[in-house]
Amino acid sequence: MSDKNLFEVEVNYTYTGNPEVVYSAWLNEQLARQWFAPGLGETEPVEIAAEVGGRFCIVQVRDGQPVSHHGEYLTLDQPYLISFTWAMDDMEDVDTVTIHIKPAGGGSAVRLVHQMDETWKDYADRTREAWLGMMQQMDELISR
């Protein structure tokens, strides 16, 4: 992807958990199984190698078909920044997702920026809604 063909989807969410808890939830295999794309299908397996250069793979069964979401961690600055590549199945386009976490009262303010090729611009609202749903589900899990 060249920079001139990119656009960004931004999602802001305030979590009840502190930055350390939120940061850890993004990288926890057991929690990811529960917060990833809630309601769209069973999520398994989930593999997360939480280190710079490490990879993740989340496979979710949708309508009987496995869909793979995978990428590589680019930046891990605990507890304030996570950045990774993002792709689905064998798609040629590789996106970049950056998660900024900062303290906010007793919780955390999170800004997620999903940078993708402009050919996917029609999916911006769907992408925003998907990330927001996952963030809300994660917040429910970590606030228990």
Domain ranges of the chain: 3-38+76-142
Q: Count the helix, strand and coil residues of the chain and give each as a percent rounded to the nearest 5.
A: 30, 45, 25
Q: What is the pTM of this model?
A: 0.91
Locate 51 and state its tokens: 């280190």
Closest by CA to 100, choosing from 7, 8, 35, 5, is 8
% the chain with pLDDT above 90: 69
Q: Residue 61: its pLDDT value, please?
A: 84
Task: State how far Cα 121 lies from the chain centre.
Answer: 18
| Assigned CATH class of 3-38+76-142 | alpha beta
Mean pLDDT across the chain: 91
CA–CA distance, 4 with 72 (Å, rounded to integer): 23
CA–CA distance, 73 with 66 (Å, rounded to integer): 22
Which residues in the chain land under pLDDT 50? 1-2
Locate 102 and state its tokens: 């900062």
CA–CA distance, 40 with 117 (Å, rounded to integer): 24
pLDDT tens per residue, range 51-62: 999 999 998 887
CB 87 within 8 Å of CB 114: no
Rounding to the nearest 10 degrees, give the CA dihedral for residues 138, 144, 56, 98. 40
